[in-house]
Structure 1
């Protein structure tokens, strides 16, 4: 028997008519409008149409076979007329596919090709994967590499063990920043200025959890300074334990984080500190050494 754990923190956990879904859609709409306003305020060179078009593409999440106009409107906060105009353009360019019978959109080949091109050209992903798989096999857990996308972390690569019980998150999966070792490791390695900006954005998105967010990131900073890695035991899901380390490539590409995670029975707190944390720290050193020899 195989247990597949696939998580999307934005999933509907209360059913089609549940109040939590409506509340989350409202918060997404407010955040999308705020983010767009902030971007447009950064300079006259920014194209609002491009910002909105990319926002529509980002509305698609792992597991979404297709989205209707109402789904896109709810996730982006854009007006119906704007969504209709931009989805028509994206479909004409091959970035979306439109099913006339269902009246729904799916990601087109141009979008898929763009994503694969980005991953295949990433030296960090290319070099990290052979280092990640042995640790996954050794621990019986999953080892993943990801980076920040807005207020979440997104998987760029994932290696799994042959264990029957393992996390089945794939590239493109999203995780919350302040509840996961991947996000906390990422936050711990930011510059103070970058971190202040991130914490402010996270707190604005979840004002009722502002104190918890600040405390979680402060603890991650202390952990990273003390031991070189960050742990998260049951903060995201009660049965998930994970260890994370940040890695900043020297070629100027974005900061990433690498994690090893699984159920608490596999990754106990003692094992996390005695074995997995030091192994991740060693992996990051090896990754840095190998990337030195890769032309950029």
Structure 2
């Protein structure tokens, strides 16, 4: 799993007056941790957040005291604490979309033999909020909390395609600003994704992120006003060839969206067997 190579962006000057600077910086520290990190030291936190050493020391002391971080005095390193885990778990558990989609996603993973994932945007990245794998020895080892680039993945491009036009434009500008050397690549990828979604109702990424991964994605905006999400289906090229992605995965993804919308609109609980299976997968 890749690690961030740029400091986590802080709110713009326009927004800073509306936020508590201490809270913003504390959250920057928590966001510096990725699923691949067992622990982080002060220097790594400084590099990932761009915050001064004194600020890191002061805020980590507070976060440890509140249980959001754990500190190992022997190693001099920090790890995610139980309060952070509890907060994240509460957020996912309270999401009707994640809960209702889980059994449908797991069924699709079994049917296609590849991974099915749901993600939301966090800044200029997508974050997995749910992930289902098939019962095969070879599959993508991404988990809840994994982060993906927006413009190189079907998840990010599908999400971008369904964003409000004004916000979409601002995110695209920020992506280009943060990656000026990739300006033309970003523009081509996004234009291709927007065109594909407008014409066909889905977005594809065939070897654009990693050369050996193919995936297709669709956005989903819940009718209950919940946050926009993107759902993808894909895997290594041997299991997810382009033809299968288009002719098999896409129709099944669209059927999943229709069923998910029906369940949310009708507030119909999944069958008990699916509820149990979803809880087992979540645990």
Aligned residue among 93, 112, 116 for 2:66: 93
Deviation, structure 1 residue 273: 1.1
1:124 maps onto 2:97 in alignment: yes
TM-score scaled by length of structure 2: 0.92
Gaps in structure 1 of 5+ consecutive residues: 1-6, 12-23
Give the SS at the match of 1:90: helix
Which residue of 148, 163, 169 maps to 1:175?
Answer: 148
Q: Distance in 2 between matches of 1:37 and 1:182?
A: 24
Over aligned residue pairs, what C-alpha RMSD do you find? 1.3
Q: Deviations over 1:161-204 (max 9, x none)?
A: 01111111110001111111000100111122121111111111
Is 1:272 aligned to 2:245, yes or no?
Answer: yes
1:293 is displaced (CA, Å) by 2.6
| Number of matched pairs | 268
Change (3 A) 1:99 1:122: same
Describe the SS at the equivalent of 2:197: helix
Contact kept, 8 Å, 2:234 with 2:245, in 1: the verdict is no
Q: Which residue of 1 aligns with 2:233?
A: 260
Alignment pair present for 1:36 and 2:10: yes
Cα deviation per residue 1:202-251 (whole Å; 9 max; x = unaligned)?
11111000111111111111111111111110000111000100001122
SS of 1:143's equivalent in the other structure is strand
- In structure 2, the residue matched to 1:216 is 189
* Superposition map of 1:187-266 within 5 A: 187-266=160-239
Distance verdict in 2 for CA 1:104–1:250, change over 3 Å: same
The equivalent residue for 2:42 is 69
Which consecutive unaligned segments of at least 5 residues does structure 2 have?
269-283
